[in-house]
């Protein structure tokens, strides 16, 4: 069989890899929750906007409905296990901040939602629309503020996200991002730029 002979494998949510993130949210009474989400994406550049898709059954869905706010907390290697835990337990049955030993901290530009302090990057979001798609409701939101751990900034205040040891999700499994093999535009970059940025 030739390498690229094709077999029909049916229809499913097979777009991979995807981000996996921890969504923190609160109700107006001040209760907070964390929920793991893989159906998340960037959907606009100016203004910066994202989407997350939530089943109606999630406590997070209730909180986002109530306040129109949530925080996307990026997941690094040390948060991988808590991230999985927050995806298999509901805030309806337990306090996931306390179970995972995670700390609430203020979310830049938001009134209700809190951020997860242990996450390297916290992206504050305000909902602008909801679309009921079937199994999930998709919330499109504007980014209202971002905080990052200071160690991720270089001397020129440039964010070095490669230092964060982020995790991606592919076909039901978590992967640590590792080897850098290129950068935006590297296919047409000059030799000296390739050498500086890739060491070759």
Give the residues lining the site for ligand FMN (CB under 6 A): 20, 33, 35-39, 53-55, 58-60, 84, 87-92, 136, 169
What's the min distance (Å) between Cβ of 155 and ligand FMN? 36
Tokens, residue 66: 């109530």
Tokens, residue 3: 């390498």
What's the min distance (Å) between Cβ of 175 and ligand FMN? 12
Alpha-carbon distance 120 to 152, whole Å? Answer: 8
| Rg of the chain (C-alpha set) | 19
Nearer to ligand FMN, 58 or 126 (CB): 58
Nearer to ligand FMN, 101 or 199 (CB): 101
Interacting residues of 178 by C-beta distance below 8 A, sequence separation 6+:
none
Nearer to ligand FMN, 171 or 195 (CB): 171
**Closest-CB residue for ligand FMN?**
87
Q: Characterise 101 by phi-psi region: left (phi > 0), alpha (psi -120 to 50), beta (else).
A: left
Adjacent-strand bridge partners of 42: 50
What's the min distance (Å) between Cβ of 88 and ligand FMN? 6
Nearer to ligand FMN, 97 or 143 (CB): 97
What's the min distance (Å) between Cβ of 197 and ligand FMN? 32
Tokens, residue 149: 């751990």
């Amino acid at each position: 069989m030739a390498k690229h002979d094709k077999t029909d494998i049916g229809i499913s949510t097979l777009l991979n890899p995807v981000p996996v993130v921890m969504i923190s949210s609160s109700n107006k009474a001040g209760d907070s929750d964390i929920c793991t989400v893989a159906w998340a994406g960037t959907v606009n550049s100016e203004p910066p906007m994202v989407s997350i898709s939530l089943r109606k059954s999630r406590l997070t869905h209730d909180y986002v409905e109530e306040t129109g706010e949530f925080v996307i907390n990026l997941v690094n290697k040390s948060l991988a296990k808590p991230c999985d835990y927050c995806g298999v337990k509901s805030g309806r049955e337990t306090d996931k901040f306390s179970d995972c030993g995670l700390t609430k901290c203020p979310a830049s530009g938001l009134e209700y939602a809190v951020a997860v302090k242990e996450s390297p990057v916290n992206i504050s979001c305000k909902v602008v629309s909801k679309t009921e798609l079937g199994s999930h409701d998709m919330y499109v939101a504007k980014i209202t503020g971002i905080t990052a751990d200071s160690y991720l900034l270089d001397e020129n205040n440039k964010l070095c996200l490669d230092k964060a040891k982020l995790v991606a999700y592919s076909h039901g499994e978590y992967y640590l991002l590792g080897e850098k093999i290129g950068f935006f535009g590297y296919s047409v970059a000059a030799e000296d730029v390739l050498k500086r940025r890739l060491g070759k």
